[in-house]
Structures are given as structure tokens and as C-alpha cells.
Amino acid sequence: MKRRSIMKGALAGAAALAAPAYLRAQSSKKLSVLTWNIADQEELFKKEFAEFKAANPGVEIEWLDKKGPDLPAFYQTQIVAGTPPDVVDIQGALWVDYAANGGLVDLTPYLQKEPDVAKRFNQDYLGGWVYQGKTYLLPFYVAKTLLYYNKTMYRDADIAQPPQSFDELIAFSNKMAKGEKTGFLTLNFDWLYWPLFKMNGVELLSPDGKKAAFNTPQMADALGKLAKATADGGINKIAWTGRWVEPNGAFASGTVGMLHAHSASYFFVKGQGPWINEQTLGATQLPGFWSTPTNHGFAISKGSRNPDLAWSFLKHMTSDKSAGNLFRERRVLTANIEADKAGLEAIEKTDPLAGAVLRTQTEHTDKLTGNWPLPYDAELKDAFWPEIQNAVLGRKEPKKAMADAERAVDRILRRKA
Amino acid sequence: MNRYPRWPIHLALIMASFVMLVPFYWVAKTSVSGENIYAYPPSIIPTRVQPFFYVDVWYAIPFARYFLNSLAVSVIAVIANVIFNAMAGYALTHGFRGKNVVLMLFLSCMMVPFQATIIPAYLITGKLGLLDSWLGLALPQCSTIICIFIFKASFDAVPRSLIDAARIDGLPEWRIIWHIMMPLSTAAIATNVILAFIWSWNNFLWPLIMTRSADMQTLPLGLARFLSYQEDTTGALYAFCIMVLAPGLLLFLLAQKEFIRGLTSGATKG
Amino acid sequence: MKRWLLNRFVLVPGAIALVALLWNIYVATHDHGHITGRVVDLAGKPVADASVVLWVYNFTTYQEHSHVKTDDAGVFRFMNNPSHRIQLSAEKPGVGRSERIPVFLYFRAEDFDLATPLKLAPSG
Amino acid sequence: MLKHRTRQTLLLWCFLAPSLAIFLLYRVMPVVWNFVLSFQYWSPLKPAEFAGFDHYEDLWYDDVFWQALWNTLLVIASAPIGIALALGLALLVNAEIRCRDVYRTIIFLSYPLMTVAVAIIWRWMFDERVGLINYVARSLHLVDKPIPFLNSFTWALPSVIAANIWQMLGFYMIILLTGLQSIPHELHEAAAIDGASSWRRLRSITLPLLRPSIFLAFVVGMLNSITSFDLVYVMTGGGPGRATEILVTYIYKLGFVQTKFDEAAAVTIVFFVLLIVTAWAANRLAGGNAGAAEIE
């Protein structure tokens, strides 16, 4: 019993350390906003913050922006120190972990009180932020994967039109692989590669989410084909080891037939690839129209001292006007139906290719995959992805790799149940 | 005095310099041409050389403000480093009861990986009320263990006779350090100044966690602006890295002379 | 005291500070934001009354900033360029359009005279 | 006499006080915090409950932990290579040859460069299809098929170690040069007069007196390469598979990506103990007292 009291004492000490008094005494009308690597929209945010301050006199807005891998480190430290930012822009499935631990404010009551707010958004994207029936985020800007293809390389390998099935995808990739040219590339962070398996009818978990369901013959067969294509050069190895700069850089160099990525890749690749124009680059859906979303949403931290003010800030930032500005400035989907419709019409006149790319982001949003609301999503990825790499890079037989992955995933699911 | 031939040394050093310079050349080349390094075949000579990525970097982030913050933090860290490390190094040259405990403590403190101390370090700095301040940013770097050992080795090498003579003349402890020990260990001071400056200048994780307001950020934090998802900033990214590197390199070039004079001539003057 | 003043650690930073000061003086006297240039047609003859657009760079894209007309000698003059990275394009209905020429400046609002004139080519 | 002795010891402790205070605040207390945390179930939002040795038990059955530990040991074993290279360079640069300052600057050039730039450039140099190393190797016909450095499970870790050594060479050279400078010149002149060949003088004078610097370079080199979180995180992110996962990237992933601070704390403590043992062994190897041999 004595040891337990020591532990409690030590931790109480840590907690006392956690709440620096002078931070708590700031003015109550202060709203701090943490965004995810979007410092390039400084001008736009200044204008929108000014509008919000005009509408809510006496409010101070502190804007923080952190790069992707650094945001969780900063945000967690602030939670422990008891001074979390009121509003935080979260990407991918990181929010589920915070929500499951009670770190985010449930927005459902707010939405029920003002139903017109929910009606602004594309319901499929908005549905991506529901955990156990409660909505925790509003869409800030969204994207989902599509298939870019190099039309010149298509013509050289006399391929008429984009692949309609997994086997065609593999066949076209191998056909285009010659010398240092390769056929296919995919991004692989946050389950972006999952449509490749979904189109083969593979499910990650059982419907009740208690057991791994991916160790099936279709999975082993698909992995075998991917491994063989990677060995023959049909699939560029960067697909499995690169993250953002290399796959986009490689595709921009014009030596890769197809790139499976989301709309943001277009602007990065266009900057680095002078060869890109309407005649040389095509944008279409993956076979089976499956795609993985990689969305950004606004959440309110539980530790926020004025959640209602934060809620009105969320409404302001996702309003038709603000979303329209963001679409025009950053050329990205906002899941705000009005803003996206107007933005698409405008951009299709000025930059038809960008318009075509962004148009794909609004189609087949009923076929989103790879976005399961799992509180232990990061752990699952860390257990599953290395085994996929082992299989496709030929280090393990697909069957063995999937058996090991199943064991690791089941151990996590048992511990979390 | 040395009879052995010179050219094998030059050959070996030229090869080593080539290996060290090639990656560096690529950073510099891409910072003026901004081309896609994944283009094949790799272009040795940069095409379309233009210095305007450096101008972009200057305006993309509040460069002057970040530079001032970095400079202030580094100056505090360097001065504190030299003073504290010299004092600790001097104390370690003497035998005293707890000496081995202190040595083992210093050695074990070196072992603590910084990534694991982020949250407690932030809480402690918050408790000290130093959040978002230059002193708070510099405090963890105000003393480095390796430099304490460098000072210790340098003070050990000072001949005992000099110290005893000074003590007989009745000089107080700190005067002995300042007038006898320090002038003899300029090499150790130069090493400490360079390393302390570079460590605090390139420090990324601690300022990232520690600073909240935009005008307290240090230079390396501007990096996030050039790794953005939306537009191609290759040229600006490398120009930024060169601009962050320049002060550390300049300090090394300035302090190099201290290495050569070092102890060799110091000892005889006495 | 003299020896202390003359050593490297004072001279080199001092020299850098001096260069920076001179550069800032140069900048202060040259940053009125004047951009001048000429618009010519394919034959090289100046085109009067052509409309010239100044695009200004903000982080990710170029945005239209201001319009101006060329005078009889085909010369245009912008007085208020705020940015360090701009594009210029000219157009005259009936004569043609020029591409968007990128212009890189050494500092914001640097006064700059376009060396090669904007050439109007019949579009389409 | 007694008063003088206690006054002397008191003064020495005052000299040690500032450094000790900083290390207590920013090194010892965080380790205690991690130690307390590693025995609890704790997340930033839930209240803590006692967990006993559960986390250490989890680690025992966690094969990623063993892979990261093995990779870390490999990285520790690679530190001497870097030091041997740097020792050779330091001796060469210290010889009386023309423009040795230029060589010293070039070799030191890589150290102040930001790790992110180093990681991106080396990731490109090791690239299988367009990388410089494969381009040169293929044009010199040293190898017919390009080597997939960062994509293969055997080459990935050596490539990351090579990039780390490339960046650390400048630092090692500085430490060893400082050590070389503290060797009194007279010893070399006396030995040369006795007719000792440069090789014998190296073995009998320079190396023994350089032992404290070599020990320091090894300990800090080992530390820097193990905690080279940025280099591994940007270069390979721990991949392919777990081939380049080292303890410090695993701690970061456990703590900040999977928000499991209690398990990350357990790994931190194991990592801390591992480093203490390695440093203690190196100290014993270097002849105790941080390698400071008494000058004859």
C-alpha cells in the first residue's frame, strides 16, 4: 500500500507541475488555433480572423502552425501542460484516438441545435468524423486518392485508356517498365494504398472490429502480383518506401507511368514537372472507383475554456464564404457543397487540368475506404504496414507476411477490447 | 622535421574532401537552380542559375526576426556554456569526496535521449515561468558535458608548477582560472564556442515545443514553411538550409586560428 | 584596447554589418515599386494603348494586382509593385497577346526596367 | 588547516553548481518522470493507475522492440568506424602541410548543416534508379544492376549509418584535433631526436595521450548516432519494414504518434540503462577516469 501512495504522490507532483499558474490567468476571450502545415495561407487567415474579431468584439486569436510530424508532439505536450489550443486542425485518423480518450468536444449537440450547419457539407465526408455515433470534427479541407497517368508513356506503350481492373493495372505497369522508366507508384501514408486491396474484395477487420479479416487467399494473390511487378520494375520501389517528396518527385521526372495519390500531389508534381499539361497528364478514378480520403478537419479541445466561442469560430471558418476563399486560394476541396460547386466551375475555366483533378474528388464519395474510425489506428498501421513492405519487397512470402500481420493485429485488438 | 613525402597526405585529403563536398555541392547547386533532383540523368552543372530562391526565403518567413531570436539564444548558450563548463572542468581537476559520483552523474546525463524528455522539460520550464522566452530556449543548452570533459583534459595538461606558484602568491581561485588556466586552453574554449553555437543554432525539437508565439521562433523552425504539401519549394528549401548553415560555418572559420595556437605556444610563455 | 579592436572577431562581423547597412541604404532608395517596359508586336513596332497586367506572387500562386495601358510609344509604367516576384503580360485586342513573363527582383518593390519588350503574338 | 580544506571543497561544489543544476533540471528529473511513468497506465487525459511491470512485460513480447534494440546495437558498433576515419583525417590535417586550413574547413563543412538537408540529399544519393552512387557505380561498370540501398533490408541500415558518419566526421575531427593540440610539442621533438620513426611515435606517444579524446569522441559519437532521430525519421522513417527502426524513433512513435507515453517511458528507461552499460564498458576499456591517462 505504501508504494502505491508514493506513486500517487509523485504523479500529483507532476500534475502540479502541469498547470503553470500564470498561463491560466490569460484573458478569457482568447482563442488559440493550431493548424496543420498550412502556413502558406497566412494572408487568407489574417482576413478571416479579422472578420471573426469584427463579429465578436474583444476576442483575441492566437494562430499556431506546425508541420505534420511535429503537430502531435506539440499538441500532446500542451494537453499535459493544461493549455491545449482551443481549435485544432487534425489530419487522417489521429482524431479518433483523442476523441476515444475524451480529449475532444462532441459537436453533435451543437449540430442538432443548428441543423443548417450540417447541411452545408457533403454527408459522406462529414460522416468520416463520426465515432460511436458522435461527430467530433467539421471538414476544413478534404481530398481522396485518384489515379494520375502519363499520357505520353501510355501512347509509347500503346495503352488506350486507364485500367478498369487490378489485373489491368498490373499489366499496364509492367508494359511501361523499360530502363529507368517504371509503370506505377502510390503514396502509402495513412492507408492511401488500401484501395489496391479493397478492389480485390479484401476487408481489414471483421464487421464487429474484433478480429483481423485480411488474411485471405485474395489478399495473398494480390500481394503476390504486386511483389512480382515490383521485382520486374513494373512498380517503382519508392511506392513502398517513399512518403511524399520521392513519389511525387519521381512522377514529376516523367519516368513513371501512373501515380496513385490525392489532389494535393497535382500541384506539387506540376511545380516540378514542366512536361505536364492537358495533353500529357490524365486524371481518373482507380478501378472499382475505390479511394482513400485524407481529410483535414477542425476539432475543439476538451480543455478549451470557451467552447461556444470555438464553435462559432468553426462555423465561421467552414462557412460558404470562407470555404470558397480557401478553395480559390489553395485550390483544394472543402466538402462545403456550395463552395466546391462554385470553385470547380471557376477553376475549370482558368485551369482545365486542375479542374479535372479536383472534379474527381467530388465523384464516388460513396466508395470511400481505408477510413475506419479506430482509436488505435496508429498502432494498427504500425503493425500492419511493415508486413506489407516485407511482402511486396520480397523479403517474406505473402502468406507468411499476412499470417504475422494477423497475429500482431489480433494482439492489439485483444488488448484494446 | 618530417622527412616523409607530402603527396600521399594530399592525395588522401583530396579524396576525403571530395567525399565530403559532393553532397554539399548538390545542396548548393539545387539552392541556385531549384531543379527536381529526381530527374535522370543527374545534372552535374546546374541549369538556369538564379539567386532568387534566397530572396524567396527572406520573404517567405520573417527571416530577420527568426535570425535575431536564434542569435540571442545562441549567444546566451555560448557564454553560459564557456563559463559553466570551465568552472565545472576546473573543479573536476581536483580530487574531492563526491568526485566519482559527479563523474558518473555527468556520464549518465549524457545518455538521456532528448526525445524522451520533451514533456517533463516543458513542464519544468513552465514552472520556472520561462516559457516563450530566450532564456527558456537557451537553458537546456547552457552546459554540455562533452565540453566539461574537454576543459578538464585541457586543465589537466597545464603544468602543476604554474598553479602552485600562483597559489603561493596568494591568488584567489577564480583569478587562477582567469589569468592562468584560461589563456592556456584557448583550443578548448574555441571548441566549446563552436560546438555550443552549432548545437543551439541547429536545435529544432526544443524550440518547436517551447515557443507558442510566432515572433519567438528560431531559424530552424522556418523549415516547416519549405516542406509544404501544396507547392514546389525545392530551391527555397535548399537556399534556406544554406542560409541556416552560414553563421555556424563563419564562426568555425573565425575560430580556426585558436586551434593552431592552442597549447603549443601557450605553455612556453607561461 | 587597440589590439582587442583589431582582432578577427570584431573586424569580420563589423565588415558584414557595414555591407548590410550599405545594402539597406541602396534598398531604401530604390524601392518605389516602379516597373517600366515596352510592348511591341511581332514586327518589333511599339503598340500603343495595349493593356498590361501585373501579377503578384503570394506563396502559392500569382494573382492579378493591377492593370495599366501603354502610351503612344508603347511604354507602360507601374507605380505600386509590392512584391519581389512578379509576372507581366500584355494584350491588345486585334494585335494579340504576350506570354506571362516572370520577373525576379532582388528585394520587394525594386524599381526595375524590363530589358526585353513584351512581344504580342496573335493568339490561337 | 581543516577550515581551509572545507572552504576549498565548498568552493569546488560552487563551481560545479550551475552545471549540476541544469543537468538535474533537464536530464535527471525527466528520467525520474519517465521512471515513475513506466510503472503506470497513463495518458494525457485519463487519470493514472498503477501498472506494475506490465509495460516491461509488453516490451518483452514486442518483436519490434527487439528489432529496434538490435538496430541500435549495430549503430553503436558502427561508431568506432567513424572515429577511426576521423582519427586518420585528424592526424593528416594536423601534419605540417600547405593549406591544411582549407582541408579542415571542407571536412568540418557537413556538421553545421541541418540534418533535414543531409537526410534529403543522402536519400536521393542512395536512390536506386536516379541516385548518384548508382549512377557513378554503373558508369564505372562496378555493378551491373543498381543496388536498392534504402529499399533493401540488408542495405538500409548501413546506408543510414554511412550518412550519419558523413555528418559526424567534422565533429569527431574537432574533438580529436583538440586532443592532439594538448599533446606538448617537446615530447615529439625528443622522440624524433632519438630516431623514433613516425609510426613508432604515433603508437607510443600520440595514441596513448589521445585516449581521453578518443573516449569522448566514442561516447558522444555513439550518442549522437543513436539519437539521430531526425536523420532516420526523414531518411527512411524506420522502414523498409523495421530495418532502420532504432530505439529513439520507436520511442517517438510510441509516445507522440500512438499516444502511449507509459510504454514509451518504459522503452526510454531500457534505452537509458543500455547506454549507461555501454558507456561504463567503454570507460573501463579506456582505462578508467574518462580515459584520462596521467601524462608521464
Query: Domain locations in chain B?
Result: 60-269
Q: Which of A326-340, C39-53, C85-99, D39-53 has the lowest mean pLDDT?
A: D39-53
In this structure, the answer to whether residues C73 and C22 fall within a common structural domain is no
Q: How far apart are CA A88 and CA A66, in angstroms?
A: 11
What's residue A225's pLDDT? 94
Please state the rounded mean pLDDT for residues D233-247: 83
Is residue A68 within 8 A of residue A105, CB to CB? The reply is no
In this structure, the answer to whether residues C69 and C24 fall within a common structural domain is no
* Record: contact A103-D44, CB cut-off 8 A: yes
Residue of B nearest to C8 (CA): B254
pLDDT digits (tens, 9 = 90+) for D178-194: 777 777 777 777 777 77
In this structure, the answer to whether residues C91 and C46 fall within a common structural domain is yes
Q: What is the CATH classification number for the domain harbouring A233? A: 3.40.190.10
Report DSSP state, residue D205: I
What's residue A28's pLDDT? 59
pLDDT in tens, chain B (270 residues): 455 677 888 888 899 899 899 888 888 888 888 777 777 777 778 877 888 888 888 888 888 899 999 999 999 999 999 999 999 998 888 888 888 888 888 888 888 887 788 889 998 998 898 888 899 999 998 998 888 988 888 888 787 888 888 888 888 877 888 888 888 888 888 888 988 998 899 888 889 888 888 888 898 888 877 876 666 677 888 888 888 888 888 888 888 777 655 433 333 333
Is residue C56 within 8 A of residue C82, CB to CB? The reply is yes
Residue D200 has phi, psi (to 5 degrees) of -65, -40
- B-contacting residues of D 204-233, CB under 8 Å? 212-213, 216, 219-220, 223, 226-227, 229-230
| A278 found inside a domain | yes
Topology of domain D54-289 in CATH is MetI-like fold (1.10.3720)
| A369 found inside a domain | no
Sort out which chain B residues have CB atoms less than 8 A from A141's CB and list them.
none
Q: Which of A241, A246, A378 sits opposite D258 (nearest CB)?
A: A378
- Write down which chains contact chain C via at least 3 CB pairs under 8 A: A, B
In this structure, the answer to whether residues A27 and A64 fall within a common structural domain is yes
Where helices occur in D227-260 by DSSP H, the ranges are 229-235, 247-252
In this structure, the answer to whether residues C25 and C50 fall within a common structural domain is no
- One-letter-per-residue 3-state SS of D13-35: HHHHHHHHHHHHHHHHHHHHHHH
Is residue D228 within 8 A of residue D164, CB to CB? The reply is yes
| A366 found inside a domain | no
Residues of chain A with pLDDT under 50: 1-2, 7, 14-27
How far does Cα D277 stand from its chain's mean position?
15
* Record: contact A236-D241, CB cut-off 8 A: no
Q: How far apart are CA B227 and CA D119, in angstroms?
A: 13
Percent above pLDDT 90 for chain D? 12
* Record: contact D239-A386, CB cut-off 8 A: yes
Query: Any CB–CB contact under 8 A between B8 and chain D?
Result: no
Prior bond to B113 cis, omega within 30?
no
Query: Any CB–CB contact under 8 A between A328 and chain C?
Result: no
- Does CATH number 1.10.3720.10 belong to domain B60-269? yes
Report the alpha-carbon angle D50-D52-D53, nearest 5. Answer: 145
Is D137 a residue whose pLDDT tops 50?
A: yes
| A1 found inside a domain | no
Q: How far apart are CA B108 and CA A50, in angstroms?
A: 51
In this structure, the answer to whether residues A264 and A161 fall within a common structural domain is yes
Sort out which chain B residues have CB atoms less than 8 A from C59's CB and list them.
60, 231
Q: Are strands A30-36 and A87-91 parallel, antiparallel or unpaired?
A: parallel
| A6 found inside a domain | no
- Region for residue B21 given its phi and psi (left: phi exceeds 0; alpha: psi -120 to 50; beta: otherwise): alpha
pLDDT digits (tens, 9 = 90+) for D241-270: 788 898 888 888 888 888 888 889 999 999
- When pLDDT is cut at 50, 70 and 90, the band that residue D224 belongs to is confident
Query: Any CB–CB contact under 8 A between D28 and chain B?
Result: yes
Q: What is the nearest CA distance from C82 to chain A, expressed in angstroms? A: 14
What's residue A341's pLDDT? 92
What's residue D293's pLDDT? 45
| A275 found inside a domain | yes
Residues 6+ apart with CB under 8 A from D47: none
Element of type H or E holding B146: helix B145-156
Sort out which chain C residues have CB atoms less than 8 A from B59's CB and list them.
84, 108
In this structure, the answer to whether residues A182 and A53 fall within a common structural domain is no
Instruction: Record the pTM.
Output: 0.83
Domain residues for A314? 12-143+294-361
A vs D contact (3+ beta-carbon pairs below 8 A): yes
Work out the widest C-alpha separation in chain A, in whole angstroms: 78
Q: What is the grid cell recorded at B33?
A: 537552380
How far does Cα D278 stand from its chain's mean position?
12
Q: Are strands A281-284 and A60-66 parallel, antiparallel or unpaired?
A: unpaired
Where helices occur in A233-375 by DSSP H, the ranges are 238-241, 245-252, 263-272, 307-317, 320-330, 337-350, 352-360
Residue of C nearest to A267 (CA): C60
- Region for residue A309 given its phi and psi (left: phi exceeds 0; alpha: psi -120 to 50; beta: otherwise): alpha
Prior bond to D30 cis, omega within 30?
no
Report DSSP state, residue B187: H
| A43 found inside a domain | yes
Q: How far apart are CA D196 and CA D188, in angstroms?
A: 9
In this structure, the answer to whether residues A76 and A225 fall within a common structural domain is no
DSSP A258-285: EEEE-HHHHHHHHHH-TT-STTTEEEEP
Rg (CA), chain C: 20
Is residue A370 within 8 A of residue A126, CB to CB? The reply is no
What's residue B267's pLDDT? 36
In this structure, the answer to whether residues C23 and C75 fall within a common structural domain is no
In this structure, the answer to whether residues C71 and C87 fall within a common structural domain is yes
Domain residues for C15? 1-30
What's residue A33's pLDDT? 94
What's residue A8's pLDDT? 53
What's residue D230's pLDDT? 81
In this structure, the answer to whether residues C63 and C20 fall within a common structural domain is no
In this structure, the answer to whether residues A57 and A23 fall within a common structural domain is yes
Q: What is the grid cell recorded at A226?
A: 504486386
Would the ipTM clear 0.90, i.e. be above it? no
Distance, first Cα to last Cα, chain A: 29
What's residue B229's pLDDT? 64
Q: What is the CATH classification number for the domain harbouring C36? A: 2.60.40.1120
In this structure, the answer to whether residues C15 and C41 fall within a common structural domain is no
Report DSSP state, residue A76: H
Residues 6+ apart with CB under 8 A from A293: A125, A128, A142, A143, A144, A368, A370, A371
What's residue D287's pLDDT? 66
In this structure, the answer to whether residues A120 and A217 fall within a common structural domain is no
In this structure, the answer to whether residues C49 and C100 fall within a common structural domain is yes
Q: Are strands A256-261 and A146-150 parallel, antiparallel or unpaired?
A: antiparallel
Sort out which chain B residues have CB atoms less than 8 A from D127's CB and list them.
38
In this structure, the answer to whether residues C6 and C64 fall within a common structural domain is no
| DSSP strands (E only) in A58-152 | 60-66, 87-91, 130-131, 134-135, 138-141, 146-150
In this structure, the answer to whether residues C24 and C70 fall within a common structural domain is no
Q: What is the grid cell recorded at A173?
A: 505497369
In this structure, the answer to whether residues C21 and C71 fall within a common structural domain is no
What's residue B263's pLDDT? 35
**Alpha carbon distances (Å) from A53 to A35, A83, A312:** 18, 22, 11
What length does chain C have? 124
In this structure, the answer to whether residues A49 and A114 fall within a common structural domain is yes
Number of other CB atoms surrounding residue A378 within 10 Å: 23
